[in-house]
Homo-oligomer: A and B are copies of this chain.
Amino acid sequence: MARHLILNAGQLLTMAGPDAARRGREMASVGLVRDGAALVEDGIILAAGLRDIVLRHDKAASAKIVDAGGRVVLPGFVDSHAHPIFASPRLSDFEARLKGATYAEIAQSGGGILSTVNGVRGARQEQLAAGLARWAQRFLECGTTTLEAKSGYGLDLETEIKMLRSVAGAGGQTPLQLVPTLLGAHALPPELKDRREDYVKQVCEEMIPAAAREKLARFVDVFCEQGFFTLEEAARIREAAARAGLGFKIHAEQLSRSGSVGMAVKGLAVSADHLDCADASDIKNLAEGQTVSCLVPGSNYFLGKPYPPARRLIDGGAAVALATDFNPGTCPCWDMRMILSIACTQMKMTPAEALTAATVNGAWALGLGKSHGSLEPGKAGDLICYDAEDYREIPYYFGSTGVVWTMKRGAVVHSTEAPRL
């Protein structure tokens, strides 16, 4: 028999709207309903809106009622850019950088991305899966219900596939929904640093086909940047992804401008990420195309660097998503509230824009816009109750999370209160 739940909220944010990522001024709308309710049937939203109307639904009579006590209920966060598979934090790099060490000095002393690569290469798949499942619990505690998981610390066929298999393994250990992305083209592996063409071929001709064959990845990502992969190489990797039936994401215009946004938009990339150095023509491209602009300002915060041009992107009509970029080198943060705070205080996004970016636009940045990110009939029953009477409190108070409970497909997966279901 179907199981029905009604969630009562003081403020319900439905995020309802067009069947596409919200762009420009559309991002200001969060579908705010005072005294709202959502009706969930077997983990899927049946109705969401004014409580009085939802209660008249013919499935409402038999539903169990969960009362949020006048607080805010909104869709679970969809974190569309993360590197959550690694063996250990990079504490020495962190401390060295604070003392003024350069990236090159850190790399020379055995730190940097290669230390994480060595850690992941040396770890068993089950260890990586267990570690990811532990991180997953942190994300759930902070209200994230869907998370991208990039590979990219293997940099060889065997380890990249091991990382992706660990995502599948962790998926069985956590209710957090994991969306795997192959990021073989994260950096050149040390053993091939003078043979870049060999490695690009390996990515295109071995890794991508293998990941697709085993259905281990939904997207392919590439770090298009000076010293990493060129625009031409990124385009070849995109074509290989398309041939294998995988979607495409790209680390674009992050440390310098490469023109990668143009390629990404033309190639129907689901998202272009970072965008710190995007110029006016890039913003115009993003505003006119289908590619979501995924900003990860937590890494800018952590490194003490200037922020990406969120205001110019939104004012120019682009669809902006926000994500953590969770990783041990540049953003050890799993808490989307913190990213919302940074987005508002440092990039001058409004609370409504930031919440749109963290939910429905995050879903579109993961190709899940039709099924996730908003509380509309037929979508996933992924919801958060926040300890706030006004949704603007979510980015206003910063530091510790204010999540009261997190629900994934209608089931409570984290709660700071005694369970009521």
Q: With an 8 A cutoff between CB atoms, is A351 at the interface?
A: yes
A345 and B301 within 8 A (CB): yes
The 4 tightest CB contacts between A and B, nearest first, are A335-B399, A338-B399, A400-B401, A91-B392
A333 at the interface (CB under 8 A from B): yes
* A72-94 with Cβ < 8 A to chain B: 89, 91, 94
- Contact present for A99 and B398 (CB under 8 Å): no
Most buried by B among A141, A333, A396: A396
Chain B residues whose CB sits within 8 angstroms of the CB of A98 once the complex forms: 344-345, 348-351
Beyond A399-B333, A401-B399, whether A393 also contacts B89 by CB under 8 A is: yes
Nearest CB to that of A354 among chain B residues? B98
Known A95-B350, A98-B348, A349-B98: A396·B89 in contact at CB below 8 Å = yes
A348 to B350, CA, bound (A): 28
Interface assignment of A103: CB less than 8 Å from any CB of chain B: no
| Cβ < 8 Å to B, chain A residues 350-404 | 350-351, 390, 392-393, 396-401
Taking CB as reference atom, which chain B residue is nearest A349?
B98
Q: How far is the CA of A390 from the CA of B90 in the complex (A)?
A: 11
Determine the distance from Cα of A344 to Cα of B346 in the docked complex, in whole angstroms.
Answer: 17
Chain B residues with CB under 8 A of A397: 89, 332-334
Q: Tell whether A255 is near chain B: CB-to-CB under 8 Å.
A: no
**A302, A337, A349 — which one has the most chain B CB atoms within 10 A of its CB?**
A302
> In the complex, how many angstroms separate the beta carbon of A117 from the nearest chain B beta carbon?
20
Proximity bits, A290-318, B CB within 8 Å = 1, else 0: 00000000100111100000000000000
B94 lies within 8 A of A396 (CB):
yes
A34 at the interface (CB under 8 A from B): no
Residue-wise, chain A 312-334 has the 8 Å CB interface mask toward B (1 for contact) of 00000000000000000000111
CA distance A301 to B302 in the complex (A): 12
> Do the beta carbons of A334 and B399 come within 8 Å of each other?
yes
- Chain A residues numbered 82-126 whose CB sits less than 8 Å from any CB in chain B: 89, 91, 94-95, 98-100
Determine whether A142 belongs to the interface, using a CB cutoff of 8 Å to chain B: yes
Contact A332 B396 (CB under 8 A): yes
Which of B99, B142, B348 touches A400 (beta carbons < 8 Å)?
B142
Shortest distance between the CB of A68 and any CB in chain B (Å): 18
Q: How distant is the Cα of A390 from the Cα of B302 in the complex, in angstroms? A: 19
* Distance between Cα atoms of A350 and B91 in the complex (Å): 11
Asked if A138 is at the interface of the complex by the 8 Å CB criterion, the answer is yes
Q: Is the CB of A393 within 8 A of B345?
A: no
Asked if residues A398 and B338 are in contact (CB atoms below 8 Å), the reply is yes
Please give 6 more A-B residue pairs, beta carbons under 8 A apart, in addition to A335-B399, A337-B400: A89-B396, A142-B399, A298-B398, A332-B397, A333-B398, A334-B399
List the B side residues contacting A392 at CB < 8 Å. Answer: 91, 94-95
CB contacts (< 8 Å) of A344 on chain B: these are: 94, 98
Residues of B within 8 A of A99 (CB): 348, 350
CB atoms of A400 and B141 under 8 A apart? yes
Docked CA distance A345–B346 (Å): 14
10 contacts between A and B (CB under 8 A): A91-B393, A95-B350, A95-B392, A141-B400, A301-B345, A304-B348, A337-B400, A338-B400, A400-B401, A401-B401
Question: What's the least CB distance linking A140 to chain B, in Å?
Answer: 11
Q: Taking the nearest CB of chain B, how far is it from the CB of A154, in angstroms?
A: 24
Given A350-B95, A350-B98, A393-B91, A138:B345 Cβ within 8 A? no
Name the one of B100, B332, B351 contacting A398, with C-beta atoms under 8 angstroms: B332
> Given A302-B345, A304-B345, A304-B346, do A400 and B94 touch, yes or no (CB 8 Å)?
no
Q: Which of A100, A138, A142 has the largest number of chain B CB atoms within 10 A?
A: A138
Listed residue (A298, A301, A345, A351) with the most chain B CB atoms within 10 angstroms of its CB: A345
**How far in angstroms is the closest Cβ of chain B from A101?**
11
The residues of B that contact A390 with a CB separation of less than 8 Å are 89, 91
Interface centre among A337, A390, A400 (most CB of B within 10 A): A400
